[in-house]
């Protein structure tokens, strides 16, 4: 078994983050057997804080139409002790925000990080 073998250990991981000053996720999903733990957070600052706390290097961003509203889903994942942990943020965006998504971030120097 892995270190995140029990529900108590998985919830303990989240409790450690909250005790360290992170905002509690508004939704927490723990799959049966603790092989998948998903956190949903409310804003970009919380998302970045949880990503940093958990050491999530993987990132995917998806923009989609949700019944006339444009939404951006940002997901970061890490595998820790055999348990896949994801941190997700879903934001409503306007067409002005979409234009920003097409602009390359000048603070990122490595093309693989884009």
Looking at every residue in the chain, the average pLDDT score rounds to: 79
Per-residue pLDDT tens for 36-48? Answer: 889 999 998 999 9
Q: Which residue has the higher pLDDT, 59 or 39?
A: 39
Question: What's the average model confidence in pLDDT over 93-109?
Answer: 62
Residue 1 pLDDT:
32
Residue 114 pLDDT:
47
Confidence of residue 103 (pLDDT cuts 50, 70, 90): low
Q: Where are the domains of the chain?
A: 7-113
Percent of the chain with pLDDT over 70: 75
Per-residue pLDDT tens for 9-35? Answer: 778 888 999 999 999 888 888 777 667
**Token pair recorded at residue 64:** 């989609």
Residue 16 pLDDT:
92
CA gap 91, 72 in Å, rounded:
5
CA gap 108, 114 in Å, rounded:
7
Overall pTM > 0.85: no
* Burial class of residue 35, CB neighbours in 10 A (0-12, 13-18, 19+): middle
């Amino acid at each position: 078994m892995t270190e995140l073998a029990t529900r108590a250990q998985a919830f303990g991981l989240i409790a450690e983050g909250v005790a360290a000053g992170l905002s509690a996720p508004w939704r927490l999903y723990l799959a049966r057997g603790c092989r998948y733990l998903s956190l949903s957070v409310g804003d970009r600052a919380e998302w970045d804080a949880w990503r940093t706390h958990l050491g999530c290097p993987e990132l995917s961003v998806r923009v989609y139409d949700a019944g006339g509203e444009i939404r951006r889903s940002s997901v970061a994942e890490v595998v820790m002790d055999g348990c896949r942990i994801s941190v997700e943020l879903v934001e409503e965006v306007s067409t002005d925000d979409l234009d920003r998504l097409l602009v390359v971030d000048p603070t990122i120097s490595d093309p693989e990080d884009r």
